[in-house]
Protein backbone atom coordinates (compact mmCIF):
# COMPACT_ATOMS: atom_id res chain seq x y z
CA UNK A 1 0.00 0.00 0.00
CA UNK A 2 2.97 2.39 0.39
CA UNK A 3 3.13 3.10 -3.36
CA UNK A 4 -0.57 3.90 -3.69
CA UNK A 5 -0.49 6.10 -0.58
CA UNK A 6 2.52 7.98 -1.90
CA UNK A 7 0.83 8.49 -5.25
CA UNK A 8 -2.33 9.78 -3.60
CA UNK A 9 -0.37 12.39 -1.70
CA UNK A 10 1.58 13.68 -4.70
CA UNK A 11 -0.70 13.49 -7.74
CA UNK A 12 -3.03 16.37 -8.64
CA UNK A 13 -6.50 16.16 -7.04
CA UNK A 14 -8.05 15.08 -10.32
CA UNK A 15 -7.83 12.11 -12.63
CA UNK A 16 -8.70 12.11 -16.28
CA UNK A 17 -11.80 9.96 -16.99
CA UNK A 18 -11.24 6.35 -17.87
CA UNK A 19 -11.94 5.44 -21.52
CA UNK A 20 -15.21 3.67 -22.21
CA UNK A 21 -14.43 -0.03 -22.53
CA UNK A 22 -17.93 -1.20 -23.27
CA UNK A 23 -18.12 -0.89 -27.04
CA UNK A 24 -15.32 -1.07 -29.61
CA UNK A 25 -15.05 2.04 -31.74
CA UNK A 26 -15.46 1.68 -35.45
CA UNK A 27 -12.27 2.37 -37.42
CA UNK A 28 -14.30 4.84 -39.47
CA UNK A 29 -15.69 6.66 -36.46
CA UNK A 30 -15.30 10.44 -36.44
CA UNK A 31 -14.78 10.61 -32.69
CA UNK A 32 -11.32 10.92 -31.20
CA UNK A 33 -12.31 8.70 -28.27
CA UNK A 34 -10.77 5.26 -28.71
CA UNK A 35 -13.04 2.65 -27.14
CA UNK A 36 -11.53 -0.72 -26.42
CA UNK A 37 -12.91 -4.23 -26.01
CA UNK A 38 -12.22 -5.62 -22.55
CA UNK A 39 -10.27 -8.52 -24.07
CA UNK A 40 -7.60 -6.00 -25.08
CA UNK A 41 -6.93 -4.86 -21.51
CA UNK A 42 -3.73 -5.82 -19.70
CA UNK A 43 -4.99 -7.72 -16.65
CA UNK A 44 -2.14 -6.69 -14.38
CA UNK A 45 -2.14 -2.93 -14.86
CA UNK A 46 -5.58 -2.19 -16.30
CA UNK A 47 -4.10 -0.24 -19.21
CA UNK A 48 -4.47 -1.27 -22.84
CA UNK A 49 -2.50 -4.18 -24.29
CA UNK A 50 0.02 -4.58 -27.09
CA UNK A 51 -2.72 -6.06 -29.27
CA UNK A 52 -4.88 -3.00 -28.75
CA UNK A 53 -1.94 -0.70 -29.47
CA UNK A 54 -1.40 -2.45 -32.80
CA UNK A 55 -5.09 -2.14 -33.64
CA UNK A 56 -5.29 1.54 -32.72
CA UNK A 57 -2.03 2.23 -34.56
CA UNK A 58 -3.37 0.69 -37.75
CA UNK A 59 -6.32 3.13 -37.55
CA UNK A 60 -4.10 6.16 -36.86
CA UNK A 61 -5.70 6.42 -33.39
CA UNK A 62 -8.78 7.87 -35.09
CA UNK A 63 -6.80 11.08 -35.59
CA UNK A 64 -8.73 12.01 -38.73
CA UNK A 65 -7.98 15.72 -38.36
CA UNK A 66 -4.22 15.04 -38.21
CA UNK A 67 -3.87 16.95 -34.95
CA UNK A 68 -0.40 17.03 -33.40
CA UNK A 69 0.37 13.52 -32.18
CA UNK A 70 3.16 12.19 -29.97
CA UNK A 71 4.09 8.79 -28.56
CA UNK A 72 5.59 8.79 -25.07
CA UNK A 73 7.60 5.58 -24.68
CA UNK A 74 8.22 4.67 -21.02
CA UNK A 75 10.52 1.93 -19.80
CA UNK A 76 10.73 1.03 -16.11
CA UNK A 77 14.42 1.07 -15.16
CA UNK A 78 15.82 -2.18 -13.66
CA UNK A 79 12.41 -3.75 -13.04
CA UNK A 80 13.94 -7.21 -12.64
CA UNK A 81 16.22 -5.90 -9.92
CA UNK A 82 13.25 -4.30 -8.15
CA UNK A 83 11.32 -7.57 -8.36
CA UNK A 84 14.26 -9.52 -6.94
CA UNK A 85 14.95 -7.06 -4.14
CA UNK A 86 11.42 -6.04 -3.12
CA UNK A 87 9.35 -8.97 -4.38
CA UNK A 88 7.19 -9.42 -7.48
CA UNK A 89 4.07 -8.22 -5.66
CA UNK A 90 5.81 -4.87 -5.07
CA UNK A 91 6.92 -4.75 -8.72
CA UNK A 92 3.38 -5.46 -9.93
CA UNK A 93 2.03 -2.72 -7.68
CA UNK A 94 4.66 -0.35 -9.06
CA UNK A 95 3.49 -1.07 -12.62
CA UNK A 96 -0.14 -0.44 -11.68
CA UNK A 97 0.84 2.82 -9.99
CA UNK A 98 2.85 3.93 -13.04
CA UNK A 99 -0.15 3.25 -15.29
CA UNK A 100 -2.41 5.33 -13.05
CA UNK A 101 0.08 8.21 -12.90
CA UNK A 102 0.55 8.17 -16.68
CA UNK A 103 -3.19 8.36 -17.28
CA UNK A 104 -3.39 11.34 -14.94
CA UNK A 105 -0.34 13.34 -16.02
CA UNK A 106 0.21 12.48 -19.69
CA UNK A 107 -2.79 10.95 -21.48
CA UNK A 108 -5.67 8.53 -20.80
CA UNK A 109 -4.57 6.26 -23.66
CA UNK A 110 -1.70 4.15 -22.30
CA UNK A 111 -0.62 0.76 -23.62
CA UNK A 112 1.59 -1.91 -22.06
CA UNK A 113 3.69 -3.23 -24.95
CA UNK A 114 6.05 -5.48 -22.99
CA UNK A 115 6.81 -6.50 -19.43
CA UNK A 116 8.42 -3.18 -18.48
CA UNK A 117 7.44 -0.88 -21.37
CA UNK A 118 4.46 1.41 -21.88
CA UNK A 119 3.41 3.86 -24.56
CA UNK A 120 1.13 6.83 -23.95
CA UNK A 121 -0.47 8.51 -26.97
CA UNK A 122 -1.14 12.26 -26.87
CA UNK A 123 -3.36 13.87 -29.53
CA UNK A 124 -3.99 17.61 -29.76
CA UNK A 125 -2.30 20.69 -28.26
CA UNK A 126 1.32 21.05 -29.45
CA UNK A 127 4.43 18.88 -29.57
CA UNK A 128 6.06 21.26 -27.08
CA UNK A 129 3.19 20.68 -24.63
CA UNK A 130 3.48 16.92 -25.12
CA UNK A 131 7.18 17.07 -24.20
CA UNK A 132 6.44 19.26 -21.17
CA UNK A 133 3.91 16.73 -19.82
CA UNK A 134 6.37 13.89 -20.28
CA UNK A 135 9.14 15.80 -18.50
CA UNK A 136 6.80 16.60 -15.57
CA UNK A 137 5.92 12.92 -15.37
CA UNK A 138 9.59 11.93 -15.26
CA UNK A 139 10.27 14.45 -12.48
CA UNK A 140 7.42 13.01 -10.40
CA UNK A 141 8.61 9.44 -10.98
CA UNK A 142 12.10 10.29 -9.75
CA UNK A 143 10.72 12.07 -6.68
CA UNK A 144 8.69 8.99 -5.83
CA UNK A 145 11.67 6.70 -6.48
CA UNK A 146 13.73 8.58 -3.91
CA UNK A 147 10.97 8.27 -1.30
CA UNK A 148 10.61 4.54 -1.97
CA UNK A 149 14.36 3.82 -2.16
CA UNK A 150 14.22 2.75 -5.81
CA UNK A 151 17.02 3.13 -8.39
CA UNK A 152 17.25 6.38 -10.34
CA UNK A 153 16.08 7.13 -12.90
CA UNK A 154 12.92 5.15 -12.23
CA UNK A 155 11.96 5.31 -15.91
CA UNK A 156 13.49 6.09 -19.28
CA UNK A 157 11.29 8.26 -21.49
CA UNK A 158 11.47 8.95 -25.21
CA UNK A 159 8.91 11.32 -26.77
CA UNK A 160 8.30 10.68 -30.48
CA UNK A 161 6.69 13.53 -32.42
CA UNK A 162 4.86 12.53 -35.58
CA UNK A 163 5.26 15.08 -38.43
CA UNK A 164 2.24 17.29 -39.05
CA UNK A 165 -0.20 15.63 -41.42
CA UNK A 166 1.61 12.28 -41.30
CA UNK A 167 -0.18 8.95 -40.87
CA UNK A 168 0.91 6.39 -38.27
CA UNK A 169 2.25 3.68 -40.54
CA UNK A 170 2.82 0.73 -38.14
CA UNK A 171 6.12 -0.38 -39.69
CA UNK A 172 7.65 3.09 -39.42
CA UNK A 173 6.47 3.57 -35.83
CA UNK A 174 7.89 0.23 -34.70
CA UNK A 175 11.15 1.02 -36.47
CA UNK A 176 11.40 4.38 -34.73
CA UNK A 177 10.73 2.77 -31.34
CA UNK A 178 13.33 0.07 -31.87
CA UNK A 179 15.99 2.49 -33.15
CA UNK A 180 15.54 5.35 -30.71
CA UNK A 181 14.13 4.01 -27.45
CA UNK A 182 15.74 0.61 -26.84
CA UNK A 183 19.32 1.83 -26.83
CA UNK A 184 22.48 0.33 -25.24
CA UNK A 185 23.10 1.60 -21.69
CA UNK A 186 26.02 3.79 -22.80
CA UNK A 187 23.79 5.74 -25.19
CA UNK A 188 20.77 6.08 -22.96
CA UNK A 189 19.48 9.25 -21.32
CA UNK A 190 16.51 9.42 -18.99
CA UNK A 191 14.65 11.83 -21.29
CA UNK A 192 14.88 12.55 -24.98
CA UNK A 193 12.65 13.72 -27.83
CA UNK A 194 12.70 12.39 -31.38
CA UNK A 195 10.94 13.64 -34.48
CA UNK A 196 10.02 10.80 -36.83
CA UNK A 197 11.29 12.39 -40.05
CA UNK A 198 11.01 11.28 -43.64
CA UNK A 199 14.39 9.55 -43.54
CA UNK A 200 13.25 7.49 -40.54
CA UNK A 201 10.18 6.48 -42.52
CA UNK A 202 12.31 5.19 -45.39
CA UNK A 203 14.51 2.93 -43.25
CA UNK A 204 14.98 -0.72 -44.02
CA UNK A 205 11.97 -2.70 -42.76
CA UNK A 206 14.05 -5.82 -42.04
CA UNK A 207 14.91 -4.40 -38.63
CA UNK A 208 11.21 -3.84 -38.04
CA UNK A 209 10.60 -7.57 -38.39
CA UNK A 210 13.38 -8.27 -35.88
CA UNK A 211 11.84 -5.82 -33.46
CA UNK A 212 8.37 -7.28 -33.91
CA UNK A 213 9.72 -10.76 -33.16
CA UNK A 214 10.93 -9.50 -29.80
CA UNK A 215 7.57 -7.83 -29.20
CA UNK A 216 5.79 -11.11 -29.85
CA UNK A 217 8.09 -12.84 -27.36
CA UNK A 218 7.26 -10.19 -24.79
CA UNK A 219 3.57 -10.59 -25.56
CA UNK A 220 3.78 -14.34 -24.93
CA UNK A 221 5.34 -13.63 -21.52
CA UNK A 222 2.61 -11.14 -20.67
CA UNK A 223 -0.13 -13.57 -21.70
CA UNK A 224 1.43 -16.29 -19.55
CA UNK A 225 1.72 -13.89 -16.60
CA UNK A 226 -1.87 -12.73 -17.07
CA UNK A 227 -3.01 -16.35 -17.11
CA UNK A 228 -1.30 -16.93 -13.77
CA UNK A 229 -3.01 -13.87 -12.37
CA UNK A 230 -6.39 -15.02 -13.66
CA UNK A 231 -6.13 -18.44 -11.98
CA UNK A 232 -4.18 -17.61 -8.80
CA UNK A 233 -5.51 -16.41 -5.46
CA UNK A 234 -3.53 -13.23 -4.68
CA UNK A 235 -3.50 -13.81 -0.90
CA UNK A 236 -2.46 -17.44 -0.52
CA UNK A 237 -0.82 -18.09 -3.89
CA UNK A 238 -3.08 -21.13 -4.28
CA UNK A 239 -5.20 -21.82 -7.37
CA UNK A 240 -8.27 -19.61 -7.03
CA UNK A 241 -11.95 -20.56 -7.11
CA UNK A 242 -12.09 -20.40 -10.90
CA UNK A 243 -9.11 -22.76 -11.22
CA UNK A 244 -10.51 -25.07 -8.51
CA UNK A 245 -13.88 -25.38 -10.22
CA UNK A 246 -12.23 -25.96 -13.59
CA UNK A 247 -10.01 -28.69 -12.11
CA UNK A 248 -13.01 -30.33 -10.49
CA UNK A 249 -14.93 -30.45 -13.77
CA UNK A 250 -11.97 -31.97 -15.61
CA UNK A 251 -11.41 -34.50 -12.82
CA UNK A 252 -15.05 -35.56 -12.97
CA UNK A 253 -14.83 -36.08 -16.72
CA UNK A 254 -11.90 -38.44 -16.15
CA UNK A 255 -13.68 -40.18 -13.24
CA UNK A 256 -16.73 -40.88 -15.41
CA UNK A 257 -14.57 -42.14 -18.23
CA UNK A 258 -12.62 -44.55 -16.03
CA UNK A 259 -15.46 -45.26 -13.56
CA UNK A 260 -12.97 -44.42 -10.79
CA UNK A 261 -14.05 -42.83 -7.49
CA UNK A 262 -13.24 -39.22 -6.68
CA UNK A 263 -13.53 -37.46 -3.33
CA UNK A 264 -13.81 -33.81 -2.32
CA UNK A 265 -12.78 -32.27 0.95
CA UNK A 266 -14.25 -28.83 1.60
CA UNK A 267 -12.52 -27.30 4.61
CA UNK A 268 -12.82 -24.04 6.47
CA UNK A 269 -10.61 -22.36 9.06
CA UNK A 270 -12.26 -22.12 12.47
CA UNK A 271 -12.61 -18.60 13.86
CA UNK A 272 -9.91 -17.08 11.66
CA UNK A 273 -11.79 -13.79 11.77
CA UNK A 274 -9.95 -13.13 15.05
CA UNK A 275 -6.84 -12.43 12.99
CA UNK A 276 -8.73 -10.08 10.66
CA UNK A 277 -9.92 -8.24 13.76
CA UNK A 278 -6.26 -7.40 14.50
CA UNK A 279 -5.81 -6.14 10.95
CA UNK A 280 -6.33 -7.55 7.48
CA UNK A 281 -2.60 -8.09 7.00
CA UNK A 282 -2.63 -10.54 9.91
CA UNK A 283 -5.66 -12.25 8.40
CA UNK A 284 -3.81 -12.64 5.09
CA UNK A 285 -0.79 -14.09 6.90
CA UNK A 286 -3.04 -16.64 8.61
CA UNK A 287 -4.50 -17.74 5.25
CA UNK A 288 -1.03 -18.12 3.74
CA UNK A 289 0.16 -20.23 6.69
CA UNK A 290 -2.94 -22.40 6.47
CA UNK A 291 -2.35 -23.08 2.77
CA UNK A 292 1.30 -23.97 3.41
CA UNK A 293 0.41 -26.45 6.16
CA UNK A 294 -2.34 -28.06 4.10
CA UNK A 295 -0.04 -28.66 1.12
CA UNK A 296 2.35 -30.55 3.39
CA UNK A 297 -0.38 -33.05 4.29
CA UNK A 298 -1.46 -33.96 0.77
CA UNK A 299 -0.32 -36.84 -1.40
CA UNK A 300 1.40 -36.45 -4.78
CA UNK A 301 -1.29 -35.74 -7.36
CA UNK A 302 -3.81 -34.29 -4.89
CA UNK A 303 -5.17 -30.84 -5.71
CA UNK A 304 -5.85 -27.99 -3.32
CA UNK A 305 -7.22 -24.56 -4.20
CA UNK A 306 -8.88 -21.58 -2.59
CA UNK A 307 -12.66 -21.78 -2.50
CA UNK A 308 -14.75 -18.63 -2.56
CA UNK A 309 -13.46 -15.59 -0.69
CA UNK A 310 -13.49 -16.65 2.97
CA UNK A 311 -11.24 -19.10 4.76
CA UNK A 312 -12.24 -22.12 2.68
CA UNK A 313 -10.14 -24.48 0.58
CA UNK A 314 -11.18 -27.28 -1.76
CA UNK A 315 -9.17 -30.52 -1.93
CA UNK A 316 -9.71 -32.89 -4.88
CA UNK A 317 -8.62 -36.50 -4.41
CA UNK A 318 -8.75 -38.43 -7.69
CA UNK A 319 -9.00 -42.24 -7.68
CA UNK A 320 -9.97 -42.01 -4.00
CA UNK A 321 -13.05 -43.55 -2.38
CA UNK A 322 -14.64 -42.41 0.87
CA UNK A 323 -12.76 -44.85 3.10
CA UNK A 324 -9.44 -43.59 1.72
CA UNK A 325 -10.46 -39.93 1.83
CA UNK A 326 -11.39 -40.00 5.53
CA UNK A 327 -7.83 -40.60 6.83
CA UNK A 328 -6.49 -37.97 4.41
CA UNK A 329 -8.92 -35.43 5.83
CA UNK A 330 -8.11 -36.44 9.41
CA UNK A 331 -4.40 -36.08 8.68
CA UNK A 332 -5.00 -32.52 7.43
CA UNK A 333 -7.02 -31.66 10.52
CA UNK A 334 -4.37 -32.93 12.91
CA UNK A 335 -1.52 -31.37 10.93
CA UNK A 336 -3.05 -27.89 11.06
CA UNK A 337 -3.96 -28.14 14.74
CA UNK A 338 -0.58 -29.47 15.89
CA UNK A 339 1.66 -27.43 13.59
CA UNK A 340 -0.08 -24.11 14.17
CA UNK A 341 -0.02 -24.55 17.95
CA UNK A 342 3.64 -23.53 18.05
CA UNK A 343 3.28 -20.46 15.78
CA UNK A 344 1.79 -16.98 15.98
CA UNK A 345 -1.33 -18.31 14.25
CA UNK A 346 -2.79 -21.23 16.24
CA UNK A 347 -5.90 -22.52 14.47
CA UNK A 348 -8.11 -25.51 13.72
CA UNK A 349 -10.14 -26.49 10.67
CA UNK A 350 -13.49 -28.17 10.03
CA UNK A 351 -13.94 -30.48 7.04
CA UNK A 352 -16.74 -31.95 4.97
CA UNK A 353 -16.25 -34.88 2.57
CA UNK A 354 -18.22 -36.01 -0.48
CA UNK A 355 -17.43 -38.81 -2.93
CA UNK A 356 -18.30 -39.42 -6.58
CA UNK A 357 -20.49 -41.20 -7.53
CA UNK A 358 -22.05 -42.07 -4.15
CA UNK A 359 -22.85 -38.53 -3.03
CA UNK A 360 -23.35 -36.80 -6.36
CA UNK A 361 -22.86 -37.16 -10.10
CA UNK A 362 -22.05 -33.52 -10.88
CA UNK A 363 -19.75 -30.88 -9.49
CA UNK A 364 -22.64 -28.88 -8.05
CA UNK A 365 -24.14 -31.95 -6.37
CA UNK A 366 -20.82 -32.99 -4.84
CA UNK A 367 -20.07 -29.47 -3.63
CA UNK A 368 -23.52 -29.20 -2.06
CA UNK A 369 -23.01 -32.54 -0.30
CA UNK A 370 -19.58 -31.51 1.00
CA UNK A 371 -21.01 -28.16 2.09
CA UNK A 372 -23.70 -29.87 4.16
CA UNK A 373 -21.10 -32.08 5.82
CA UNK A 374 -18.91 -29.07 6.55
CA UNK A 375 -21.85 -27.26 8.12
CA UNK A 376 -22.51 -30.26 10.37
CA UNK A 377 -18.87 -30.23 11.48
CA UNK A 378 -19.19 -26.56 12.42
CA UNK A 379 -22.43 -27.11 14.33
CA UNK A 380 -20.95 -30.11 16.17
CA UNK A 381 -18.23 -27.94 17.72
CA UNK A 382 -15.66 -27.37 14.92
CA UNK A 383 -12.22 -28.97 14.57
CA UNK A 384 -13.72 -32.19 13.18
CA UNK A 385 -14.83 -33.79 9.94
CA UNK A 386 -18.08 -35.24 8.64
CA UNK A 387 -19.29 -37.02 5.50
CA UNK A 388 -22.81 -37.81 4.24
CA UNK A 389 -22.97 -41.36 5.63
CA UNK A 390 -21.76 -40.26 9.05
CA UNK A 391 -24.08 -39.35 11.92
CA UNK A 392 -23.36 -36.62 14.45
Question: Are 2-231 and 241-386 equal in CATH topology?
Answer: yes
> Which residue stretches of 204-343 are H helix?
206-231, 241-258, 273-278, 280-296, 322-340
pLDDT digits 0-9 by tens, 192-219 = 998 876 555 555 554 555 566 566 656 6
pLDDT digits 0-9 by tens, 55-90 = 888 888 888 888 899 999 999 988 888 888 888 888
Residue 183 pLDDT more than 70? no
Cα separation, 33 vs 18, whole angstroms? 11
**Contact 54/170 with Cβ under 8 angstroms?**
yes
SS3 245: helix
- Mean pLDDT along residues 261-285: 85
Q: Does domain 241-386 have CATH number 3.40.190.10?
A: no
**Radius of gyration of the chain measured on its C-alpha atoms:** 27
Cα separation, 89 vs 93, whole angstroms? 6
**Contact 196/173 with Cβ under 8 angstroms?**
yes
Which of the four pLDDT bands, split at 50, 70 and 90, describes residue 27? very low
Cα separation, 264 vs 244, whole angstroms? 11
∠ CA 110-39-37 to the nearest 5 degrees?
Answer: 70
**Which of the two residues, 18 and 268, has the higher pLDDT score?**
268
Residue 326 pLDDT more than 60? yes
**Contact 304/297 with Cβ under 8 angstroms?**
no
Q: In angstroms, what CA-CA distances link 313 with 75, 173, 294, 305?
A: 39, 49, 9, 6
Residue 191 pLDDT more than 90? yes
- How confident is the prediction for the chain on average, in pLDDT? 80
Which of the four pLDDT bands, split at 50, 70 and 90, describes residue 234? confident
- Mean pLDDT along residues 298-319: 89
Pick the closest to residue 41 from 14, 7, 73, 18 (CA basis): 18
pLDDT digits 0-9 by tens, 359-368 = 999 999 999 9
**Contact 62/31 with Cβ under 8 angstroms?**
yes
Sign of CA dihedral 343, 345, 348, 349: negative
Cα separation, 260 vs 357, whole angstroms? 9
Pick the closest to residue 337 from 240, 284, 279, 267 (CA basis): 267
SS3 286: helix
Pick the closest to residue 352 from 324, 319, 313 (CA basis): 313
**Which of the two residues, 118 and 56, has the higher pLDDT score?**
118
pLDDT digits 0-9 by tens, 153-180 = 999 999 999 887 777 777 677 777 777 7
How many other C-beta atoms are found inside a 10 Å radius of the C-beta of residue 124? 13
Cα separation, 316 vs 261, whole angstroms? 11
Cα separation, 241 vs 95, whole angstroms? 25
Cα separation, 44 vs 377, whole angstroms? 39
The pTM (predicted TM-score) of the whole model is 0.48
Q: Does domain 2-231 have CATH number 3.90.180.10?
A: no
What pLDDT, on a 0 to 100 scale, did the predictor assign at position 290?
93
Domain ranges of the chain: 2-231, 241-386
Which of the four pLDDT bands, split at 50, 70 and 90, describes residue 122? very high
- Mean pLDDT along residues 334-340: 94
Amino acid sequence: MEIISSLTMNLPPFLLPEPDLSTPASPDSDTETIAHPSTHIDLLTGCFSLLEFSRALSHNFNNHDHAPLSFVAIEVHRLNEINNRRGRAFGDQLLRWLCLATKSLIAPHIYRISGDEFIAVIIGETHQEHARKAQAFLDLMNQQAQQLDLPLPLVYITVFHLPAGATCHPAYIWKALNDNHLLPPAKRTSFRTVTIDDQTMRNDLVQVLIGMTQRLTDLAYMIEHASRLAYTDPISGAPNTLASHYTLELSLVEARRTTAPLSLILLDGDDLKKYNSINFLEGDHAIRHLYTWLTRGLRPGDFIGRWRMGDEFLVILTHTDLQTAIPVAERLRLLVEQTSLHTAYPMTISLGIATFPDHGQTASALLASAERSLKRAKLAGKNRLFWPDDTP
